[in-house]
């Protein structure tokens, strides 16, 4: 079954971010996702790397967010920080919440937003994280010992 509430939120976030994408020359550089597709498993951490273009003359922060209303992650946002003289790549680490519920594979969209003035976001500004099926999800739905009788 489709989750229309989540779809609506995703469409809203997508539109919001499309408006915030830098379409004209930006002064403070651009941030974007270096990792756009990650596979994660329950109870484990995963990282998303963020790149920054241009010279860093000030500390630049970008926030990575996910709709965590289903509580599949520990927390819903992390901040990536870039410092002058430092690396143009920063990474954020999220933890997949370890519950005991059987869940089939789920796909989440993480979005990136610059929170330092003068810095903007460019594409790719979204990353897809797939949480693998866990807690014997397919065991719940699998059919064992099927026998068919044709008359
Ligand atoms: Ca879960
Ligand atoms: Ca689970």
Pair of tokens at residue 128:
């897809």
- Per residue in 46-61, pLDDT (tens digit) is 999 999 998 888 899 9
Structural domain span for residue 78: 4-135
Read off the pLDDT of residues 70-110 as tens digits, 9 standing for 90 and up.
Answer: 999 999 999 999 999 899 999 999 999 999 999 999 999 99
Q: Does residue 34 sit within a domain? A: yes
Answer yes or no: is 146 within a domain. no
Q: How many distinct structural domains can be found in the chain?
A: 1
For residue 143, tell me if it sits in a domain: no
- Whether residue 140 lies inside any domain: the answer is no
151 is a domain residue: no
Contacts of 81 (CB under 8 A, 6+ apart): 59, 60, 61, 90
At 140 the pLDDT is 54
- Residue 39 in any domain: the answer is yes
Separation of CA 141 and ligand 2 centre (Å): 15
Task: Give distance in angstroms: CA of 134 to centre of ligand 2.
Answer: 5
Answer yes or no: pTM beyond 0.75.
no
Q: Ligand 1 centre and the CA of 131: distance in Å?
A: 8
Q: What is the C-alpha separation between 136 and 142, in angstroms, rounded?
A: 10
CA of 129 to the centre of ligand 1 (A): 13
Note whether residue 21 is domain-resident: yes
Other CB atoms within 10 Å distance of the CB of residue 77: 15
Indicate which ligand has the atom closest to the C-alpha of 72. 1
What CATH number does residue 38 fall under? 2.60.40.2030
């Amino acid at each position: 079954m489709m989750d229309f509430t989540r779809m609506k939120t995703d469409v809203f976030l997508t539109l919001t971010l499309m408006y915030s994408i830098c379409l004209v020359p930006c002064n403070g550089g651009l941030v974007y996702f270096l990792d756009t597709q990650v596979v994660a498993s329950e109870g484990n951490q995963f990282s998303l790397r963020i790149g920054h273009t241009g010279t860093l003359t000030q500390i630049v922060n970008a926030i990575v967010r996910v709709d965590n209303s289903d509580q599949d992650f520990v927390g819903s946002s992390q901040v990536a920080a870039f410092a002058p003289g430092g690396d143009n790549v920063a990474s954020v680490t999220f933890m997949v919440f370890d519950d005991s519920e059987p869940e089939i594979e789920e796909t989440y969209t993480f979005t990136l937003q610059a929170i330092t003035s003068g810095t903007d976001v460019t594409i790719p500004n979204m990353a897809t994280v797939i949480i693998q099926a866990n807690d014997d999800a397919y065991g719940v739905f699998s059919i064992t010992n099927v026998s068919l009788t044709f008359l």
